[in-house]
Structure 1
Amino acid sequence: MRTRQVLGCKALLVLLALTLVVAGCSRMNLAYRNLHLLIPWSLADYLDLDRDQQRRFRAQLREHLDWHCRTQLPGYLVDIEQLQTQVRRGALDERTLRADYEKARRAIHAIATEITPTLTQLLAGLDETQVRELDEALEEDRRENRDEYLKPPLDQQIRERAERMSERVEQWLGSVSPAQRQRILTWSHALGAQNRPWLENRAHWQQRLSEALADRHGAGFEQRITQLLQAPETLWSADYRAAFGRAEQLTLDLVRELYKLSDAGQRQHFVGQLEDLRKDLGSLECLPEPN
């Protein structure tokens, strides 16, 4: 996985991105305990922080990770147990899936809110060279994603989207049946040229970040970064809002129907994957002492 794909256009939400990435690691405890090292390393793809900036950021990052471990992870454990119960009972209907999805959105917003002051301070302290390097890195990100997601013919985009989703489903269910694979392909066809509005919105977000950084010493800088991190949907165009809503519903429908198409072995595998994740999270110690 490319670091820039992990960070994406919400490059500054690395706490969330990397927390979710390590959820798939067999050594969850070790990975989570070392996020204070992994996150600055990943951020280096975008920013070349000087020694003082790195020191302050690492110290603040430890505080955020401690907050996350103490206040957020206990809720995740409850949510995982509830999801296990839903899977066992065959209760993954649209209402349940929507509720679970909204919980995930609230979790994302909680992290964004927590880290906003630190990231605002970090960005406000960048010098001209660092801002220019960040702009160049974001432009490279846009170029790479255009090459990967827009340049291929539409039928290839649809096929590759279906392949990516099949891989995700297989991770959780252990296998993908022919019927499930066909349902995934139908979903991908329904999304059609979704890559374009997605990347256009991504580029728009990055452009607004660049504009804010150009005036980072102005009175409204904090409010602009807060909006970018905590309320990015307020910057969406009407077209993208409609496209997002449609894609969101299509994906929830897909998950519901994939579950209906699953057999006992796949559901058992799903519950087992959730149990492994629950045990890993439950065994975490909320942060090691500084080295």
Structure 2
Amino acid sequence: MAWSVQRKPEMTCLIPPSFRHGNRVGWLSLLLLCLVLTAGCSRTRIAYNFSDWFLLHRIDHYFDLTREQERFLSARVSALQAWHRQHELPRLVAALGELERRYQDGLSAEDIEWVWAQQATFWQRLIARGLPDFAEFLTMLQPEQIRHLQNRFQNGGGWLVKQAALDEAELARDHGEWLREVLEDWYGGLDADQAASLPGELRADAGWVKLRLANRHRFQQNFLELVQAGGSPDGLHQRLSLWLQHPETRWLPGFEERLEARRRQWQRWMVRVDAMMSPAQRRHALERIRGYRLDFETLVEEG
């Protein structure tokens, strides 16, 4: 399941697979591999238990489901959630436990690489499990539903659209405010000196925002063409799998290089910021990780 409610997913998922694939994407929050939350731990279990409903709601938003399609997807999404609860949540608990161990001495570049590798693995398993059912659903679409999808793409807003409309000063201010908000939430607040001396690697980049938005439009157009072409469930599954395994084949020229450069900027920035924090602030971050782990342990115990 994916519960995406962040204002700016780029930071808060440590650049998750969905962002690397050129689509939309808590910082150090490994639990966000399959469940993206900004709520506190006390709400994690409620959010997870309603994630099937949320996913259906998002699919309906883009496709305007018929009753038959809704029944089909409801059963398949419920089965996917049951599989995830049984097989993936225990793995997620173990990964969060490992993240706790790694973070005892602060954050390193190797830790971030480990998190990204874990994210990719969780993402791949989720896609492998859910994609056949989604491909079968796509064969049920009517022409008016494809037009509905096209209209959603053409008239969709979102964070990237808003960011692309800002001038450089507005973008810099918005980006800086967001970074401080994330850090204050994660570390339990920043003192004045810390807020004033945050590393500058991640300054706002209007060109990168516009390139990401253009790449998203490319992704949407390619997906629309795939849906319009139709085919059998097996054929659609094969094409979607190839696309998701090698998204760079669909990216705009220059996107992969800019993405990797930005990824390294994030890595350097996160390590430098964490080194600035006091022991109390790091304990606050560690408690956040531990709280998420305990919440997911409870979900596993609930079965």
Normalised-by-shorter TM-score class: 0.7 to 0.9
Partner of residue 200, structure 1:
214
Q: Distance in 1 between matches of 2:150 and 2:260?
A: 30
Structure 2: unaligned runs, 5 residues or longer: 10-17, 25-31
1:150 pairs, out of 155, 158, 164, with: 164
Report the residue type matching 1:262 in the other structure.
M
Partner of residue 247, structure 1:
262
Distance 1:4 1:201, change over 3 A: same
- How far 1:225 sits from its partner (Å)? 2.2
1:60 pairs, out of 73, 76, 79, with: 76
8 Å CA contact retained: 2:89, 2:300: no
8 Å CA contact retained: 1:187, 1:250: yes
Report the residue type matching 2:277 in the other structure.
S
Distance 1:166 1:36, change over 3 A: same
Q: Distance in 1 between matches of 2:58 and 2:7?
A: 8
- How far 1:217 sits from its partner (Å)? 2.7
Report the residue type matching 1:275 in the other structure.
R
1:84 aligns with 2:100: yes
8 Å CA contact retained: 1:22, 1:31: no
8 Å CA contact retained: 1:205, 1:228: no
Q: Distance in 2 between matches of 1:18 and 1:48?
A: 25
Partner of residue 186, structure 2:
172
Q: Normalising by the residue count of structure 1, what TM-score does the alignment of the two structures yield?
A: 0.85
8 Å CA contact retained: 2:33, 2:123: no
8 Å CA contact retained: 2:80, 2:129: yes
Distance 1:112 1:272, change over 3 A: same
Query: 1:27-38 alignment to 2 at 5 Å?
Result: 27-38=43-54
- How far 1:190 sits from its partner (Å)? 6.6
Q: Distance in 1 between matches of 2:118 and 2:33?
A: 16
Partner of residue 14, structure 2:
none
Distance 1:252 1:146, change over 3 A: closer
Partner of residue 226, structure 1:
241
1:69 pairs, out of 77, 80, 85, with: 85
Q: Distance in 2 between matches of 1:2 and 1:37?
A: 14
8 Å CA contact retained: 1:23, 1:277: no
Partner of residue 273, structure 1:
288
Q: Distance in 2 between matches of 1:223 and 1:181?
A: 48
The residue matched to 1:64 in structure 2 has which SS? helix
8 Å CA contact retained: 1:80, 1:278: yes
1:44 aligns with 2:60: yes
Structure 1: unaligned runs, 5 residues or longer: none
8 Å CA contact retained: 1:47, 1:130: yes
Distance 1:4 1:264, change over 3 A: closer
Q: Distance in 2 between matches of 1:23 and 1:230?
A: 31
- How far 1:234 sits from its partner (Å)? 3.0
Report the residue type matching 1:169 in the other structure.
L
